[in-house]
Chains A and B, each alone.
Chain A
Amino acid sequence: MRKLFKALAVTALAVTASFSVAKAEGYPDRPISVMVSYGAGGATDFQARIVTMMSGNEELLGQPMVIINKPGAGGRVGWNWLATEADADGYTLGVYNIPHFIAQSIEGGVKYSADSFEPIANWGTDPAVVIVPKDSPYNTIQELIDYAKANPGKVTLSGAGLFVGHHIAALQIEKAADVKLAYIPTKGGGAAAMKAVIAGEVTGGINNLSDAYRAREAGNVKILAIADDERDKDFLPDVPTLKESGYDVDDSSVNFRGIMARKGTPPEVIEKLAKAVPEMFAHKNVAAQMKAGGSPIKIMNREEVAKMWADRQTYLAELLKDLKK
């Protein structure tokens, strides 16, 4: 009986193995689902819809990519699903947000870590910026930090939740400037955090570059600093980085967005995706739409993304260590 089982198991394995090889050859022969772990209408969803729109082109993947939203618990619902329930056949991919999912896996209570996924390619970055209402007395980041130093815990900064880029940036500023800030996480993402700033409910806020840029265009906020290694030449050439301003904050809070697959996806499929997806992101139609929406593009290939993930993993583990105590 046991022998029979073994034989059956081996046959089954062989069958599935040959099946997956066969699948990889013609891949993709049907539409590909791309899971976004945030709701429809958010920045991640909106950008994912733009960057995947050329997927159906013959010279790219030849099959359309369909966005499915699995929002909830700051992205945890979607990534849990991708790591444990999605088919690892290349027909179900996911969008990653760094540093969110890595920070969440360090915080614990989720079923994924950086090892649960295979990076494919990165399409964009959205650095965090420090903003204040337009009629705020603070015109530079130094003025704000100096006030915070004189009044520990009195400066309230809104952001889109816990263990997201905004939160990381706030933690980094606290550490670099050795000051105590009151970080106010909002429910309802960056939009709610932005509203709190515009309405003057908080001293200031940390928000996405793209949203802050639009709010500044509309004359509602001032942007004091950008939490990145370099200034943003396209949208905010006049805004200094935190580093220039004398606070040692690097690009660890920058929100990287890209596509990943579940671990166990056949290597041939990953190879094909790793080649085609960056080309798709680089398509001129995509670039035009992204620029129109005020969303910075940064295309990175699979190797670059893998390295970026590893760097973030090390850095965030260190930064969040103190917080968990």
Chain B
Amino acid sequence: MEFLGYFGGVFEPVAFMLLLGGTIGGLILGATPGLSPTMAVALLIPFTFQLEPTQGLILLGAAYTSTVAGGAVSAILLKIPGAPANIATALDGHEMARKGQGAKALHMSFMASGVGGVLGVLLLIFLTPLLAKWALAFGPSHLFWMAILGVTVIGSLDSRSFVKGLLSGCLGFWLSMIGYDDIQGAQRFIFHDALTGGINIIAALIGIFAIPQVIEMFAKGRVPSSISSLNVERQSLMASLRETFMYKRALAIGTVCGSIIGLIPGVGGQIAGLLAYDQSRKFSPDRDKFGTGHPEGVIAAESANNAMVGPSLVPLLTLSIPGSPTAAVLLGGLLIHGIFPGTDLFDNHPQVAWTFINSMLIGQILMVVFGIWISGWAARVSKVPTPIMAGAVLVLSLFGSYSIQQSMGDVYIMLVLGLGMYLLEKFGFSAAPLVLGLILGPIAEANFIQGSMIANAGDGLIDYFLTGTLNLFLIAMVLASMAYSFWATMIHEPRVAASRAAQTKAEAAE
């Protein structure tokens, strides 16, 4: 309960103003395509030079929390996921916005973010020493099996066709191999300079999600604006609140997935949202509604990606190991003030550590309040006539992919992938499995090669990858997930389809 004593520090005038500023600024930065949470926090580091350590950290922590949630705004309204964490949000969120339920989707996404976020930070407060051990337990072999577990959901992420889902996952895998390989020192598939560093995931996200819809919008041509613009439904706050908490299962799955995956250094929040999305679909009775604008999808994804924020700081704060790129930037923010994370932080600077953690708790709540406040008028974006919207999304995509690292190369990559994805979508392939392949490829590959190098120096491959409780547990999860997919596609769905067909036949006969 030590942390309670440090709540005062959060409400000191300067600290609270910074928290407020960081939250609002973070929401805006997060909603800007191409500005990932990592970039946003890095941009703020120079401002912390002049501040007290605690104040600097409050600013950075607030920005981290709210950029993750802010990414949902562009994911839902424009179908441009601001960061890998928001991919799953775009799947159902954007469909909801297209039905005119943008305000509802945004309300729910911020509320779910708040629930996940607060629980994540509470985990950080109460279970840090325990969690630190857990975070270290994941070695190369376990991360490899984690990635394979992710692979097993690739096929089922595409609700239309299992085989096409797997195929686009493979394509994603291949794309992830482009570039220089740090472990073996090979240069792979570099047929243009822009590819030396591989495909930047954020540029890829923008291209794969935004460009096909831009083309689609332009292809519609001129239509009377009365048809192309949407009716934006007004959404009462109470209704959103009630509905968010109706989906308790999605909230729980999202929060649990997010906190567990957030802990594991190197996997981080990139796949938390997607895994939570997939799991909550598997457990939902309304499985078929996912992908068509179902609130559960948004809630699972957003509660997961904010639940991950707190636990992702555990390895950083206790062991000084940044588990994610954003945590690495935060480490820089600490070091600049001469504070070393680890036992030193909690023993000698408890006021810094606990004020920072408490501010993230308060920050989550502020984030929900301001997020909901902006969602009312942000949702009106959908009212913009299609041709103007298409132009605006295209400009934002170009601007966003350039601003990642001031590189035209990323813009080319974004455009090429976007065009490719448009064609693939014409043939019934979908974007989410491809992106998951792109994210999981490097995790699986690097950890397999690293693991086998370690194994070859030690007890051999079989011993290294196939023994040990955690390995066996993960393998069991992989098998269960595969068995489920097999059951769902080969046995369950044909039976459902058959009974439905029989029903229609019977109806027709009557």
Q: What is the interface of chain A, defined by CB distance below 8 A to chain B?
A: 39-42, 45-46, 49-50, 53, 68-74, 76-77, 80-81, 107, 109, 153-156, 161-163, 182, 184-188, 191-192, 194-196, 198-199, 201-202, 211, 214-215, 217-220, 289, 291-294
- Contacts of A201 on B, CB cut-off 8 Å? 139-140, 454
Contact: A70 with B453, CB < 8 Å?
no
Closest-by-CB residue of A relative to B180 is A73
CB distance from B26 to the nearest CB of A (A): 16
Residues from 209 to 227 in B contacting A, C-beta threshold 8 Å: none
CB < 8 Å neighbour of A76 from B197, B332, B446, B458: B197
Contact: B198 with A218, CB < 8 Å?
no
Contact: A202 with B337, CB < 8 Å?
no
Contact: A198 with B454, CB < 8 Å?
no
Contact: B405 with A69, CB < 8 Å?
yes
Complex interface bits, B448-461 against A, C-beta within 8 A gives 1, otherwise 0:
00100110111000
B424 in the interface, Cβ–Cβ < 8 Å? no
Closest-by-CB residue of A relative to B42 is A40
Contact: B183 with A162, CB < 8 Å?
yes
A182 to B458, CA, bound (A): 10
- Contacts of A69 on B, CB cut-off 8 Å? 42, 405
7 more CB-based (< 8 A) A-B contacts, given A70-B406, A156-B458, A186-B446: A39-B325, A109-B187, A188-B266, A195-B136, A201-B140, A219-B342, A292-B336
Closest-by-CB residue of A relative to B447 is A187
Complex interface bits, B264-302 against A, C-beta within 8 A gives 1, otherwise 0:
011000000000000000000000000000000000000
Closest-by-CB residue of B relative to A157 is B457
A184 to B182, CA, bound (A): 11
- Contacts of B419 on A, CB cut-off 8 Å? none
| Chain A to chain B contacts (Cβ below 8 Å), 10 pairs | A41-B331, A73-B180, A161-B182, A161-B183, A186-B182, A191-B322, A194-B321, A195-B136, A201-B454, A218-B340
A272 to B46, CA, bound (A): 26
A196 to B328, CA, bound (A): 16
Contact: A72 with B196, CB < 8 Å?
yes
CB < 8 Å neighbour of A71 from B136, B197, B327: B197
Residues from 303 to 338 in B contacting A, C-beta threshold 8 Å: 315, 319-322, 325-332, 335-338
- B: interface residue count bin: 35 or more
CB distance from B271 to the nearest CB of A (A): 16
Contact: B42 with A41, CB < 8 Å?
yes
Contact: B49 with A73, CB < 8 Å?
no
CB < 8 Å neighbour of B342 from A70, A162, A217: A217
- Contacts of B322 on A, CB cut-off 8 Å? 41, 191
CB distance from A133 to the nearest CB of B (A): 10
Contact: B182 with A185, CB < 8 Å?
yes
- Contacts of A80 on B, CB cut-off 8 Å? 193, 196
Given known pairs A41-B332, A187-B182, A294-B335, the reply for A156 and B139 (CB within 8 Å) is no
A109 to B180, CA, bound (A): 10
- Contacts of B406 on A, CB cut-off 8 Å? 68, 70
B442 in the interface, Cβ–Cβ < 8 Å? yes
- Contacts of B38 on A, CB cut-off 8 Å? 39-41
B499 in the interface, Cβ–Cβ < 8 Å? no
Contact: B450 with A184, CB < 8 Å?
yes
CB < 8 Å neighbour of A184 from B337, B405, B407, B453: B453
- Contacts of B46 on A, CB cut-off 8 Å? 49, 53
A76 to B187, CA, bound (A): 11
- Contacts of B332 on A, CB cut-off 8 Å? 40-41, 45-46, 49
CB distance from B224 to the nearest CB of A (A): 46
Contact: A218 with B454, CB < 8 Å?
no
- Contacts of A40 on B, CB cut-off 8 Å? 38-39, 42, 45, 325, 328-329, 332
B185 in the interface, Cβ–Cβ < 8 Å? yes
Given known pairs A71-B405, A293-B336, the reply for A41 and B182 (CB within 8 Å) is no
CB distance from B236 to the nearest CB of A (A): 41
- Contacts of B320 on A, CB cut-off 8 Å? 211, 214-215, 218, 220
B363 in the interface, Cβ–Cβ < 8 Å? no
A188 to B337, CA, bound (A): 24
B179 in the interface, Cβ–Cβ < 8 Å? yes
B504 in the interface, Cβ–Cβ < 8 Å? no
B344 in the interface, Cβ–Cβ < 8 Å? yes
Closest-by-CB residue of B relative to A164 is B182
Contact: B328 with A202, CB < 8 Å?
no
A186 to B456, CA, bound (A): 16
A155 to B140, CA, bound (A): 17
B467 in the interface, Cβ–Cβ < 8 Å? no
Contact: A220 with B139, CB < 8 Å?
no
- Contacts of A73 on B, CB cut-off 8 Å? 179-180, 182, 196-198
Contact: B336 with A50, CB < 8 Å?
yes
Contact: A72 with B328, CB < 8 Å?
no
Closest-by-CB residue of A relative to B265 is A195
Contact: B340 with A74, CB < 8 Å?
no
B503 in the interface, Cβ–Cβ < 8 Å? no
Contact: B344 with A292, CB < 8 Å?
no
A185 to B449, CA, bound (A): 10
B235 in the interface, Cβ–Cβ < 8 Å? no
CB < 8 Å neighbour of B197 from A77, A155, A291: A77
- Contacts of B330 on A, CB cut-off 8 Å? 41
- Contacts of B231 on A, CB cut-off 8 Å? none
CB < 8 Å neighbour of A198 from B42, B179, B321, B329: B321
CB distance from B147 to the nearest CB of A (A): 13
A219 to B140, CA, bound (A): 23
CB distance from A251 to the nearest CB of B (A): 24
- Contacts of A196 on B, CB cut-off 8 Å? 139-140
CB distance from A107 to the nearest CB of B (A): 7
CB distance from A283 to the nearest CB of B (A): 13
CB distance from B191 to the nearest CB of A (A): 13
A199 to B458, CA, bound (A): 16
